[in-house]
């Protein structure tokens, strides 16, 4: 719903949100993206100027790849997303994002600023989805580009079932081994 609403106002803002949600990029990382950072063959995005100063790779989904292919002009050092008024680097997310969120009523009745939907929440959603599908916390840390694991720990509570499933898989493996040994003993 949010992507559709953003598209009504700004295709560029919708595309930036599309990049943040399935790739976990920060707004500043999106603003800095250049054509040379995109490897369409391997579906990789190089984040060369991240917040923590350590470059990393993000992976393109099909939708992200299609969107980025449509935005690339061919000049390696050209920004993918440009400010409307001066065609240089964007400095901040447009107020159109807040207006779209408000128009959908997502922040209606929310007074706690920590609960308000912002552009950065798309990055948190990416991390939460990874945790909910059972990805290891270290994988989430690397995909987010966190320097220390403590930053990623906020998603650990979402990985509970993954831990439970790991224990159950171990139990199943153990039971299979015991069953095979019992079958061999019965043969003698």
26 tagged catalytic: yes
Return the ∠ at Cα 95 (arms to 94 and 101), rounded to 5°.
115
The catalytically annotated residue of 14, 26, 71, 141 is 26
**51, 89, 99, 180: the active-site residue:** 51
Let me know if 157 is a catalytic residue: no
> Which residue of the set 75, 89, 120, 154 is catalytic?
120
Answer for the pair 32, 131: CB distance below 8 angstroms, yes or no. Answer: no
**Whether 123 is catalytic:** yes
Residues 165 and 140: beta-carbon distance below 8 Å: no
Residue 7 to residue 184: CA distance in whole angstroms: 65
Residue 146 falls in the annotated catalytic set: yes
* Residue of 14, 71, 123, 141 marked catalytic: 123
120 is catalytic: yes
CA proximity to 12, closest of 27, 127, 58 = 27
Catalytic residue of the set 14, 71, 141, 146: 146
Could you list the active site residues? 26, 51, 120, 123, 146, 155
């Amino acid at each position: 719903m949010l992507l559709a609403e953003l598209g009504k106002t700004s295709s560029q803002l919708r595309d930036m949100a599309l990049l943040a949600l399935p790739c976990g990029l920060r707004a500043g990382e999106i603003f800095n993206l250049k054509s040379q950072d995109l490897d369409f063959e391997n579906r990789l995005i190089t984040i060369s100027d991240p917040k923590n100063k350590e470059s990393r790779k993000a992976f393109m989904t099909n939708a992200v790849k299609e969107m980025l292919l449509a935005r690339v002009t061919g000049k390696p050092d050209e920004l993918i997303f440009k400010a409307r008024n001066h065609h240089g680097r964007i400095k901040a997310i447009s107020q159109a994002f807040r207006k779209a969120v408000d128009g959908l009523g997502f922040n209606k009745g929310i007074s706690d600023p920590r609960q308000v939907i912002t552009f950065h929440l798309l990055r948190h959603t990416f991390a939460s989805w990874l945790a909910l599908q059972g990805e290891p916390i270290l994988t989430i840390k690397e995909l987010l580009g966190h320097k220390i694991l403590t930053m990623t720990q906020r998603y650990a509570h979402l990985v509970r079932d993954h831990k439970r499933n790991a224990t159950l898989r171990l139990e199943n493996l153990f039971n299979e081994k015991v069953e095979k040994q019992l079958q061999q003993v019965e043969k003698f």
